[in-house]
Structure 1
Amino acid sequence: MLFHNPLRQAVLIKRYKRFLADVKLENGDIITVHCPNTGAMTGCAEPSMRVWLSDSANPKRKYRYTWELVEDFAGHLICVNTHRANQIAGEALDHNLLAPLQGVQNLRAEQKYGYDNRRIDWFGIDSQQRHTFIEVKSVTLATHNQGYFPDTVSKRALEHLRSLQDMVTDGHRALVLYTVLHSGIEQVSAADHIDPKYADACRAAREVGVEFYALGCKLTPTGISPLRELPVLM
């Protein structure tokens, strides 16, 4: 995934109201930008961190710029735009970068499924002709090289797990794909210390056949590339 236009560099002043951030541009101007992340963004939104912004080039948009990347104080690059996770996961699936998912065909994004008619991030048919439901999660929370999901209590993530379990019970294939958008993360775990209900639900889901994988990526200010599978520890 390449950014369509060169990203603009700035320094973070503060993030607030979840979807907004004030930044200082290299020319000294202070502007408000869109922050496309509903999580706590722990370790990703400290004042004075260097950030990169994409330009919508739409002067009529209320917030012309979108916050894409941040460099933490350890020098790691992090993508805070959670919408990028699905796009990068799709590239990895298309290029068969994850061995357990090689052979999944007819991939379609944002398909309705389940008894409550919710949307799955990716749907396909595997080599055994099973319907395959792929829920993508963005991972940015890190302690040293250990990544965690979620970074705040997430009722929505819990509901997604239950829907995936329903799919497995119905004879389909279902999995969670953690897309790691932090250059320092080498493995991923459910965040017991933040959302123990989600962590317990992950272990229960794995017992009934829901699969868990993680995708490591290369992050640069010009683009983000899916690289390789990372371990998932439960």
Structure 2
Amino acid sequence: MLFHNPLRQAVLIKRYKRFLADVELENGEVITAHCPNTGAMTGCAEPGMRVWLSDSENPKRKYRYTWELAETFNGQLICVNTHRANHIAGEALKNNSIEALAGLQQLSAEQKYGYDNRRIDWFGRDQQQRQVYIEVKSVTLAENQQGYFPDTVSQRALDHLRSLQDMIADGHRAVVLYTVLHSGIENVSAAHHIDPQYAEGCHKANAVGVEFYALGCELTDKGITPMRELPVLS
């Protein structure tokens, strides 16, 4: 995934009201940018961090710039724009980057499914013509090269696990694909210490056949490239 135009560099002053971030541009101007991340953003939004913004090129938009990347104080890059995860995961699926999901056919995004007509991030059929439902999760919380999801208690994520279990019960395949958007993460696990209910939900989902994979990416200010599968730890 390439950014459509060159990102603009800045320094983070503060993130607030979940969706807003004040930053100082290289010319000294202070502006407010849109923050497309509803999570806690632990370790991703420290004042003084170097950040990169995309330009909507729409002067009429209330917040013309969108916060895309952050750099930790030890030089690791993070994509804070969680909306990028689905696109990146789609590229990985089309490029067969996850061995167990290689060769999927009829790939399509944002398909309605389940009994409540929620949307699945990616749908496809495997080589045995089984329906495959793939829920994508963005991982940015890092502790000593260990990635965790979620970074705050998430009832929504738990509900997604239950919907995937329904797909297993109906005879289909169901997948959680953690898209790792932090260059310092080498493996992923459920955040037992943050959301024990989600962690228990993962254990139950895995026991009935829900598959869990993690995708490592290369991050630069030019774009984000899906690279390799990372271990998912129980």
- Structure 2 counterpart of 1:74: 74
Q: What is the CA–CA distance in structure 2 between the aligned matches of 1:45 and 1:103, rounded to whole Å?
A: 38
Question: Shift of the alpha carbon at 1:73?
Answer: 1.2
- SS of 2:87's equivalent in the other structure is helix
1:42-53 equivalence runs, <5 A? 42-53=42-53
Q: CA deviation at 1:111?
A: 0.3
In the TM superposition, residue 144 of structure 1 has moved relative to its aligned partner by 1.3
* Counterpart residue number, 2:216: 216
Instruction: Could you list the structure 1 runs, at least 4 aligned residues long, displaced by more than 3 angstroms after superposition.
Output: none
- Counterpart in 2 of 1:36? 36
1:93-127 deviation digits (Å, cap 9, x = unpaired): 01111100011111000000000100000000011
The residue type equivalent to 1:126 in the other structure is: D
RMSD: 0.4
**Structure 1 residue 155, shift from structure 2 partner:** 0.4
SS at match of 1:182: coil
Query: How big is each residue's C-alpha offset from its partner over 1:120-178, in whole Å with a ceiling of 9 and x where there is no partner?
Result: 00000011111100000000000011000000000000000000000000000000000
Q: How does 1:161-176 map to 2 (within 5 A)?
A: 161-176=161-176
Counterpart position of 1:139: 139
1:31 to partner: Cα distance:
0.2
Percent of residue pairs bearing the same amino acid type? 79
The equivalent of 1:230 in structure 2 is 230
Q: Tell me what 2:6 maps to.
A: 6
Instruction: Find the counterpart in structure 2 of residue 124 from structure 1.
Output: 124
Which residue of the partner structure matches residue 180 of structure 1?
180
The offset of 1:205, in angstroms, is 0.2
**Alignment partner of 1:197: what SS?**
helix
Counterpart of 1:107 in structure 2: which amino acid? L
Structure 2 distance, partners of 1:74, 1:171, is 46
Query: Partners in 2 of 1:12 and 1:144 — Cα distance?
Result: 23
What TM-score results when the alignment is normalised by the length of structure 1?
1.00
Structure 1 segment 9-28 matched on structure 2, within 5 A: 9-28=9-28
Question: TM-score with structure 2 length normalisation?
Answer: 1.00
**Number of aligned positions between the proteins:** 234
Gaps of 5+ in 1: none
Distance (whole Å) between structure 2 residues aligned to residue 165 and residue 65 of structure 1:
39
